[in-house]
């Protein structure tokens, strides 16, 4: 698996698995667990979750899936802004660790910026690192001005944001800012929203040229940039294997130009999109 380098020198896999909406229904738990285990079997070690996903349900599913194979997984979770005070962050992290059944998170993110001063959250993150409960910390849904307000920005190990051909606003200034500060971008909802990108004729044309699927083309498009990783969520075993094929897919300049015509790059600053 290709990786991007974190500030602490570890490699962050360019392909991961998102778990948003997992753990919401008990009847889906067995199937969701199998999907995560299939990802691990294929070498997709990056598993992304959050305390608000299913009110801890997603973390419980991930915990079940990685039981007995912790060393195979790179686990990311997130603290909600409402819990991001000094004490609240530590309590939330401990709860997440309990649900996951592990002692240490590989990466812990602030889910989005709220009313708690960033200095408080960062202080809690650093305490958790000292205690061995997290290996690194980062943020999610932060724009350039938010990152400029961050204490200890050099320690920020990721910024997880919405990014796909349909939502390219980060390319104007946020992506270059993160690249210049060695902050990896984690792209969530990388396949787009409501099937708009997956059903696009230009994407389909590129896919035919490469004997690939539209989904593989879209994911390969996202990770073409240095420092960008992708975390598509899927509920099917076949789609996990399909997604992995994007890692080795190389898009040509002609391919990229065709996608640009269908989904133009941003020409001005816009508010950061969030889901």
Whether the CA torsion 66, 68, 73, 75 is positive or negative: it is: positive
Q: Write out the binding residues for substrate.
A: 111
Neighbours of 244 (CB within 10 A): 17
Residue 95 within a domain: yes
Catalytic residues: 53
Residue 214 within a domain: no
Task: Give the relative orientation of helices 86-100 and 57-66 as an angle to the nearest 10 degrees.
Answer: 50
pLDDT in tens, the chain (275 residues): 899 999 999 999 999 999 999 999 999 999 999 999 999 999 999 999 999 999 999 999 999 999 999 999 999 999 999 999 999 999 999 999 999 999 999 999 999 999 999 999 999 999 999 999 999 999 999 999 999 999 999 999 999 999 999 999 999 999 999 999 999 999 999 999 999 999 999 999 999 999 999 999 999 999 999 999 999 999 899 999 999 999 999 999 999 999 999 999 999 999 999 99
What is the span of the domain harbouring residue 147? 12-193+227-235
β-pairing, 185-188 vs 3-5, is unpaired
Q: Whole-model pTM? A: 0.96
- For residue 45, the domain's CATH number is 3.20.20.100
Residue 251 within a domain: no
Q: How many domains does the chain have?
A: 1
Distance between CA 96 and CA 137 in Å, rounded?
A: 14
Residue 2 within a domain: no
pLDDT the model gives residue 235: 84
Q: Write out the binding residues.
A: 111
pLDDT the model gives residue 241: 95
Whether the CA torsion 139, 142, 148, 154 is positive or negative: it is: positive
């Amino acid at each position: 698996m290709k990786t991007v380098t974190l500030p602490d020198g570890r490699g962050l896999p360019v392909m991961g698995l998102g778990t948003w909406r997992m753990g919401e229904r008990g009847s889906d738990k067995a199937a969701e667990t199998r999907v995560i285990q299939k990802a691990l079997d294929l070498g997709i070690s990056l598993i992304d979750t959050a305390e608000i996903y299913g009110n801890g349900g997603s973390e419980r599913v991930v915990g079940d899936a990685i039981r007995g194979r912790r060393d195979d997984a790179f686990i990311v979770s997130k603290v909600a802004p409402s819990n991001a005070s000094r004490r609240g962050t530590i309590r939330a992290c401990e709860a997440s660790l309990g649900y996951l059944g592990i002692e240490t998170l590989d990466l812990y993110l602030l889910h989005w910026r709220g009313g708690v001063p960033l200095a408080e959250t960062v202080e809690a993150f650093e305490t958790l690192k000292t205690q061995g409960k997290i290996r690194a910390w980062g943020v999610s849904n932060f724009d350039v001005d938010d990152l400029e307000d961050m204490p200890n920005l050099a320690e920020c190990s990721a910024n997880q944001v919405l990014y796909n051909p349909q939502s390219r606003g980060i390319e104007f200034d946020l992506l270059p800012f993160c690249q210049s500060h060695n902050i990896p971008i984690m792209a969530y909802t990388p396949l787009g929203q409501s099937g708009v990108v997956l059903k696009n004729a230009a994407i389909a044309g590129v896919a035919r040229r490469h004997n690939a699927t539209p989904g593989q083309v879209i994911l390969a498009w996202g990770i073409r940039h240095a420092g960008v990783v992708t975390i598509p969520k899927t509920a099917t075993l076949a789609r996990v294997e399909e997604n992995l094929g994007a890692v080795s897919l190389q898009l040509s300049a002609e391919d990229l130009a065709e996608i640009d015509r269908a989904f133009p790059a941003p020409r001005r600053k816009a508010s950061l999109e969030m889901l």
